[in-house]
Structure 1
Amino acid sequence: MTVRQQTGPPRSVAAPVDFTDFYQAHFHRIAVQLYAYLGDHAEAQDLTQEAFCRMLERWPRISAYDDPSAWIRRVAWNLATSRLRRMRTAVRHLAKQREEHVPGPEPDRVALIRALATLPEAQRRAIVLHHLAHLSIAEIAEQVGAAEGTVRSWLSRGRAALAGQLTETRAEGNRA
């Protein structure tokens, strides 16, 4: 006579319970346990639902266990513990992040940007490339495909327009 050893949880002799009945009988109880553990009602319900979804995929096998509620409870608690671990890791990561406070632009910079915006595009590009990108007149001419004399003209006109606008802005600021 050959004796087969059973692997896995012990099998029940009773007929399997309907999944819907099992769900209705156990969902609330497990969700309440997870709520007490996590402190978040919606999260507890989501994790309980996830555990039941996993159970449904394996229902024909799990329904034959002596205590299917032990399986669902263990899976739900494992999911909750994993969620807490991920949240703690995220909180530790966020705690290590430093908030950088960058001062806003100075009033002079704001005035310059506004004044540059009023210039024709060619003059504005020449001013920016020459004074901010530190390109020579020859480099600007090559980049934009214009003669060096044209670039000099753009720079001259652009500087004159900026000087007029920035002088007016400064005079208005002094009157206030």
Structure 2
Amino acid sequence: MVCRSESSEGLLADVHTPEFFNGIRASGIPNHSLTLKVGSPVMLLRNIDHSHGLCSGTRLIVTKLAEHVIEAKISTGDHTGNRVLVPRMSMTPSDPRLSFKFKRKQFPLMLSYAMTINKSQGQMLSHVGLLLKKPAFVHGQLYVAASRVSNPKGLKILICNELGNSCNSTTNVVYKEVFNNL
């Protein structure tokens, strides 16, 4: 819904249809459509309650679905195994490219079959798969990704060359300019 202070009349009101708003992809809010099933792995996109482990980036497994709340089990961190309730929330995007403000009432979740290296920091996982389509040039990120796995047998790495074929090695990129002026 368009925020009242930002609402417009006439031609702009005709352009800003529900379909238009549902199609917007913006930072600060999940996509309009979220299709979940019991057992789906999800990631929390908002801080809800730190004391119960409901922080942005927390991974959960959906255990029950309802219209206004989702029950889930925390799958990582100090609160692993705890059952929690995630409510629908009103969210307003923070994307400066939008010339208007609107809000969506939805669950602050996204499916999480995969995650970025940054989101994995601080978590221990039983299985980690790394897809290296390009040479890794930030050694700290490669270390974080590989060190998230609790057992080396749970680590799988796929390295691709320029043609997209799998190979056994990758280039260790080091920019010598970094060492200038030391």
Please give the range of the TM-score, normalised by the shorter of the 2 chains: under 0.3
Greater helix proportion: 1
Point out the structure with max Rg over C-alpha.
1
Which one has a larger percent strand, Structure 1 or Structure 2? 2
**TM-score, normalised with respect to structure 1:** 0.19
TM-score, normalising length: structure 2: 0.19
